[in-house]
Every structure is written in structure tokens, then in C-alpha cells.
């Protein structure tokens, strides 16, 4: 528990940057300043400028809203869809369980990033296909964990009693299953949030994600890649932003796992 | 229904589902596929007749299920079909791409194993010691590092600053070093974590001192008792690492301009050459389903407890 406070503070700062970043950015993210293109850090532009003379710091701060905000959205939709499916599998009897789990297997028969690339690429580049691609390839872990815990609950005394008392299925799910799912699913969610950040920037880097000129960390890396010889620092900043966020969220996940679940339970 | 037959049935269900879902996705892709093919083939403004002719030729005017059966029937006999853009058979091109990806994946796996096994063994010698903490920190950093950024950093260090290795292309063994290293460092990060916890768990198993006191020798303890227990996480890792290698290879090949499987897939998507996309998707799915099937069967061999309603 002692470790929980510092990591929560770091994550809180990241969330605040995603929300308020655009307001503290020193320059408009798409303002072009050709005379000052590829400027080194320092001076008027704190982290320098890109090939069009746009302020890198401002683009990073605006990009936080895209990279982190979209990751939050994608992993939360996956959380809801996946846990509902998992609970349906756990509470619906053997046939339903088998069917839902085979659908899960179909989606797991693929490395998720490759699947996301295919879906986003085929549907056409853009934010909505990015969200769809990452959600559709990111709900399975939640479903498996929710089902596993749900199956374990089905024979527990308080659940059986609730059934005998005539409580409806959805009500039992609401009052007896969901609270039991919260700790493990929170831990899974942090992992998926980190994966979503990596996925969004990877798709952006491949050109299938958020489209220019919108500042997003992956597309910023794509822009910076061409200038690796002349201004290598330009590609350092967005990469560091991704690594720092993913690392912070993963560490939070580890700390949460120790705090919320018993060590033996599969999370 | 809990034996090998059930597992086989599952594999068939998963493969059919993948085929149908992919086809649905591509069928509903935005844009007129016939027009895309026409533009790709003739590279100019095409008349409506040409587009209509292509539509009939490639069976796009037939319904969904007709088109699906036109694709799946040859596939079942091992024919991946022809590219919708060039009209040439897909398999020879795809095979060339796979043959470029294989050495990369192998190199990545070897580097990953060569780094992670000694690191994990050193780390668990003194759990909580500085080597252990360092190994965990490195593994966490590696897990947070996107492959494409690591690749750019390696290019910056070894190709731009030091000029040791070429940054792009294929041709010599030196071209394999940086892509292989990118992939290998990622593999090492995840393997170190998993191996470390597997070894820690195996070392701490309560039955080991009990066996020792009963006079079971260290050799028999290691082979008959520790090995089967440690085999389970190792088996799980095999499947995960395959996914990681494939995923990493896609990104790494794009960055290093290697015309392997990743480049093949990305180009096919950009050219909207859907038969090629389907071919890659189905091959990957078959590969994964086979590996998962083998893993599941091995699990049952290693651990007789597995098998009852465990999906």
C-alpha cells in the first residue's frame, strides 16, 4: 500500500496532462514556422521544432490527449464488452459458455497488433477505424478473466442463496459478480491500457492511425524518422513520451495487483 | 468431450470463424473493390465498362456466400488464389516473403534466448539482490519500449553515429544484425520476466525439501519433479513468443525496409489487394491454431490435472 501513493500521483499527473495539456502548450500545435524549421531545443521552442517548424513540445502536449485519451477509451470499451461476454459465458450454462469461448479463441488466434493493423488498414486510415480496430482486438483478456472468476463464484453459498431467493440473473450479476470482478479486472485494465498506448502509436507510425496534421505520438515519430540523421532529437521526444507512459502504467498495474488481489490468484 | 477430439474440433471452429470473419471484414471494406483493382491494373482513368468487366470477372457482383465459396474451395485444397492487382498467383511471392522473415524471427529468438536465460538464472541466485532488481528493471523497460522506437534508436546509434551496420535493406548478414537485435531485445525482455518467475516458483516448491528428506536424489528431483512443473510456463511462453515474434517482425520489417511478411502484408493492405491480405491472415491463423493445439496436447501430457472444463 505504501507504494500505491507515488504511482497514483504519477498516473494522476499523466491523466492531468492528457486533459489539460492543450491549455499549457506554449504554441498552437499546427502553427507552421518555416524559418525556424528543425530548430534545436532551447530558445523560443523548448524542445525544438519539426520539419515544418511546428513546436514539438506543443505537439507532444496536444498529442497526449490523443494518445492517452484514445487508449483510455479503447481499453474501457474493451473492459465493458469483454466482462459482459465473460459473465454471459460463466452464467449462461455449458453451451453458451462453449460458444462464447470459441469466439474468444477466434479473436485470440492472431497477434493482436497484426489483427489491428489489418482491421484499421482495411477500413481506411482514421480515428474511428483505429478505435474499432483496437477495441475489436482487445476485449478477449477481460472476457477470459471475468469468465474464470464467474465460474468460481457460481457454486458459492451467497450466490446460490440469491438464486434460491429468486433474484434475477442480471441482478445477481450486478450485486454478486461485478464486485468480485473489480480487483482483477482493474489489473487487467492497466495492462490493456498500456497495450493500447503502444497499439495507437504503432498504428500511427504505420500511417493507419490518427491522421496528420493531428499531433499523435506515433505519427510524430513517423515524421521524425526521415530526419534521423540531421535532427535525431526530434524522434527521441515522442518515443520517450510513449515509454514513460507505458512504464508508469505497467508499474501501477504491478502495484495494484499486489494491493488488490492475493498473490496466488491468476490476474 | 474433453480429449484430443474436443481440441481438434475447437481448432476447426476457430479456423472457420477466422475465415468467415476476415471475409466479412473485407467484403464490407469501404470503397469499390472493382474500381480499386482497375486503377491498380491500368494506372489511369478507367471507363465504367472496364470496371464492370472486372467486377464480373473477379466474382464481385455475386453475393457474399458465392464469393466466399469461390475463395474457400480452392483454399481447402491448398490454393491461396491470385493477387487481385497483378493477377499472378500469391503463393510464390508469399513464400519469398516468408523466407526473408524466417531468418529474422530465428535471429530474434536466438538473441532473446541468449540474453534472457543467463540473466534469469543470475537473477534468481539472490532474489532481491542488485542483479535481480536490475534484470527486472531492464525487462520492464523493454516491455514498455515500442519495437519501432527501439529500432530507430539502434539505427541512430549503430548505423548513423557508429556506421557499423547498414540501416536498411537486405542482402548480407550484416543487414540482419539491427533488425534481429531489435526483435531479440524485445523477446529477451518478456522471456526474462517469465523465466525468472518460473525459476523462483520452481525453487520454492514445498515438495522439494520433503522429497530430499525422503532420500530422493537431486538428479531425480530435478528431472522428475522440477522439470514438469517448470515446463508449463515454458509451454505457455512458446505460444506467446511466437505472437511476439510475428508482431515484432511486421514492425521491424517496415522500419528496416525488408520485403518480408510484414512488408508483404502492409503493401497488400495499402494496395487493397484483398486476396493477399486473406492469404496472410489465414496462414497466420493456421500457424497459431496449430501451435495452440500442440501446446494444449503437451499440457495434458505434462500435467494430468488439466482437462476438465478449463478452456
Higher pLDDT, A144 or A26: A144
Cβ atoms A110, B284 nearer than 8 A: yes
- Residue A3 resides in a domain: no
Q: Do A105 and B13 touch (CB under 8 A)?
A: yes
Q: What is the pTM (predicted TM-score) of this model? A: 0.85
Give the start-to-end residue ranges of the domains of chain B.
3-76, 94-303
Query: Quick one: pLDDT band at residue B309, thresholds 50, 70, 90?
Result: very low
The pLDDT value recorded for residue A267 is: 40
pLDDT digit string, tens, across residues B224-263: 777 777 667 777 777 777 888 888 888 888 888 888 888 8
pLDDT in the model for residue A84? 93
Residue A75 pLDDT: 93
A142 is a domain residue: yes
Interface predicted TM-score (ipTM) of this complex, two decimals: 0.81
Span A73-87, average pLDDT: 93
Asked, for residue A15, whether it belongs to a domain, the answer is: no
Spell out the alpha helix ranges (H) of chain B: 4-27, 33-42, 48-57, 64-76, 90-125, 130-144, 147-154, 174-203, 207-213, 218-220, 227-255, 261-270, 274-302
Q: For chain A, state the CA radius of gyration.
A: 22
pLDDT of the residue at B173: 67
Give the pLDDT band (50/70/90) at residue A262.
low
A212-237 mean pLDDT: 82
Among A97, A112, A113, A122, which would you mutate to test the B interface (most chain B Cβ atoms within 10 Å of its Cβ)?
A122
Is A225 in the B-facing interface, judged by CB distances under 8 Å? Answer: yes
Residues 31-70 of A with CB under 8 A from B: none
pLDDT digits (tens, 9 = 90+) for B69-94: 888 888 888 788 888 777 788 888 88
Q: How many independent structural domains does chain A possess?
A: 1
Beta-ladder partners of B192: none
Domain span holding position A170: 20-25+42-264
Identify the CATH number of the domain in which residue A110 sits.
1.10.3720.10
Domain-embedded: residue A5:
no
Q: Which CATH class is domain B94-303?
A: mainly alpha
Instruction: Tell me whether residue B261 is exposed, middle or buried, using C-beta atoms within 10 angstroms of its C-beta: 0 to 12, 13 to 18, 19 or more.
Output: buried
Angle made by CA atoms A63, B29, B16, in degrees to the nearest 5:
110
Q: Name residue B171's beta-bridge partners.
A: none
Q: Round to whole Å and give the CA distance between B4 and B307.
A: 10
A200 close contact with B: CB closer than 8 A: no
Query: Would you say residue A199 lies in a domain?
Result: yes
Q: Confirm or reject contact between A114 and chain B (CB < 8 A).
A: yes
What share of chain B in percent tops pLDDT 90?
0
Contact status, residue B250 vs residue B259, Cβ threshold 8 Å: no
Burial letters A208-243, b for 16+ CB under 10 A, else e: bbbeeebbbbbbbbbbbbebbeebbebbbbbbebbb
Question: What is the per-residue burial (b if ≥16 Cβ within 10 Å, else e) of A94-125?
Answer: eeebbebbbbbbbbbbbbbbbbbbbbbbbbeb
Test mutation, B149, B186, B241, B251, chain A, max A CBs within 10 A: B149
As a whole number of angstroms, the distance between CA A90 and CA A97 comes to: 6
Residues 6+ apart with CB under 8 A from B46: B35, B38, B39
pLDDT tens per residue across span B286-306: 888 888 888 888 777 776 666
Longest dimension (CA), chain A: 76
Three-state secondary structure string covering A191-204: HHHHHHHHHHHHHH
CA atoms of A52 and A58, how far apart (whole Å): 13
Whether A8 is covered by a domain: the verdict is: no
What is the reported pLDDT for B310?
46
| Closest in B148, B152, B270 to A228, CB measured | B152
The reported pLDDT for the residue numbered B43 is 67
User: Could you give the 3-state DSSP secondary structure of residue B278?
Assistant: helix
> Could you tell me if residue A4 is inside a domain?
no
pLDDT single digits (tens) B10-56? 888 889 988 888 888 888 887 777 777 777 777 667 777 877 887 77
* Helix, coil or strand: residue A49: strand
Of A66-70, A207-211, B33-37, which one has max mean pLDDT? Answer: A66-70
In a domain? residue A100: yes
Amino acid at each position: 500500500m505504501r507504494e500505491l501513493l507515488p504511482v497514483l500521483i504519477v498516473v494522476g499527473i499523466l491523466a492531468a496532462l492528457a486533459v489539460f495539456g492543450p491549455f499549457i502548450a506554449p504554441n498552437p500545435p499546427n502553427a507552421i514556422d518555416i524559418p525556424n524549421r528543425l530548430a534545436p531545443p532551447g530558445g523560443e521552442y523548448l524542445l525544438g521544432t519539426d520539419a515544418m517548424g511546428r513546436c514539438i513540445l506543443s505537439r507532444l502536449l496536444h498529442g497526449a490527449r490523443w494518445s492517452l485519451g484514445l487508449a483510455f477509451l479503447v481499453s474501457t470499451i474493451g473492459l465493458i464488452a469483454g466482462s459482459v461476454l465473460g459473465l454471459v459465458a460463466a452464467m449462461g450454462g455449458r453451451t453458451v459458455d462453449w460458444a462464447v469461448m470459441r469466439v474468444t479463441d477466434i479473436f485470440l488466434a492472431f497477434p493482436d497488433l497484426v489483427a489491428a493493423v489489418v482491421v484499421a488498414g482495411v477500413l481506411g486510415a482514421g480515428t474511428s477505424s483505429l478505435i474499432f480496430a483496437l477495441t475489436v482486438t482487445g476485449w478477449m483478456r477481460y472476457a477470459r478473466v471475468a469468465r474464470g472468476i464467474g465460474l468460481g463464484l457460481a457454486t458459492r453459498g451467497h450466490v446460490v442463496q440469491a438464486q434460491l431467493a429468486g433474484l434475477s440473473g442480471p441482478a445477481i450479476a450486478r450485486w454478486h459478480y461485478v464486485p468480485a470482478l473489480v480487483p482483477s479486472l482493474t489489473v487487467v485494465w492497466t495492462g490493456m491500457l498500456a497495450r493500447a498506448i503502444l497499439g495507437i502509436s504503432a498504428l500511427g507510425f504505420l500511417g493507419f492511425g490518427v491522421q496528420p496534421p493531428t499531433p499523435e505520438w506515433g505519427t510524430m515519430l513517423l515524421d521524425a524518422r526521415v530526419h534521423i540523421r540531421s535532427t535525431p532529437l526530434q524522434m527521441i521526444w515522442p518515443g520517450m513520451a510513449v515509454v514513460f507512459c507505458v512504464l508508469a502504467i505497467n508499474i501501477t498495474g504491478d502495484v495494484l495487483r499486489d494491493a488488490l488481489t492475493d498473490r496466488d490468484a491468476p490476474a | 468431450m474433453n480429449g484430443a477430439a474436443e481440441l481438434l474440433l475447437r481448432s476447426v471452429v476457430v479456423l472457420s470463424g477466422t475465415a468467415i470473419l476476415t471475409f466479412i471484414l473485407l467484403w464490407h471494406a469501404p470503397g469499390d473493390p472493382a474500381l480499386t483493382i482497375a486503377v491498380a491494373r491500368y494506372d489511369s482513368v478507367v471507363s465504367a465498362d472496364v470496371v464492370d468487366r472486372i467486377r464480373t470477372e473477379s466474382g464481385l457482383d455475386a453475393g457474399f456466400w458465392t464469393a466466399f465459396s469461390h475463395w474457400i474451395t480452392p483454399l481447402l485444397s491448398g490454393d491461396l488464389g491470385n493477387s487481385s492487382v497483378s493477377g499472378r498467383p500469391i503463393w510464390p511471392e508469399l513464400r519469398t516473403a516468408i523466407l526473408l522473415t524466417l531468418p529474422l524471427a530465428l535471429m530474434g529468438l536466438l538473441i532473446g534466448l541468449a540474453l534472457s536465460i543467463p540473466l534469469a538464472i543470475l537473477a534468481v541466485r539472490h532474489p532481491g539482490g542488485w542483479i535481480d532488481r536490475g534484470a527486472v528493471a531492464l525487462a520492464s523497460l523493454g516491455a514498455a519500449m515500442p519495437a519501432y522506437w527501439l529500432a530507430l534508436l539502434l539505427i541512430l546509434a549503430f548505423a548513423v553515429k557508429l556506421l557499423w551496420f547498414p540501416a536498411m535493406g537486405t542482402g548480407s548478414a550484416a543487414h540482419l544484425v539491427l533488425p534481429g537485435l531489435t526483435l531479440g531485445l524485445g523477446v529477451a525482455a518478456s522471456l526474462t520476466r517469465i523465466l525468472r518467475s518460473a525459476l523462483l516458483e520452481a525453487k520454492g516448491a514445498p515438495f522439494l525439501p520433503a522429497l530430499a528428506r525422503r532420500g530422493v536424489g537431486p538428479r531425480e528431483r530435478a528431472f522428475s519433479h522440477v522439470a514438469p512443473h517448470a515446463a508449463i510456463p515454458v509451454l505457455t511462453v512458446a505460444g506467446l513468443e511466437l505472437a511476439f515474434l510475428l508482431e515484432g517482425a511486421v514492425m521491424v520489417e517496415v522500419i528496416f525496409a525488408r520485403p518480408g511478411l510484414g512488408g508483404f502484408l502492409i503493401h497488400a493492405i495499402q494496395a487493397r489487394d484483398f486476396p493477399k491480405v486473406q492469404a496472410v491472415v489465414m496462414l497466420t491463423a493456421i500457424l497459431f491454431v496449430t501451435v495452440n493445439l500442440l501446446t494444449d496436447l503437451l499440457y495434458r501430457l505434462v500435467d494430468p490435472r488439466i482437462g476438465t472444463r478449463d478452456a
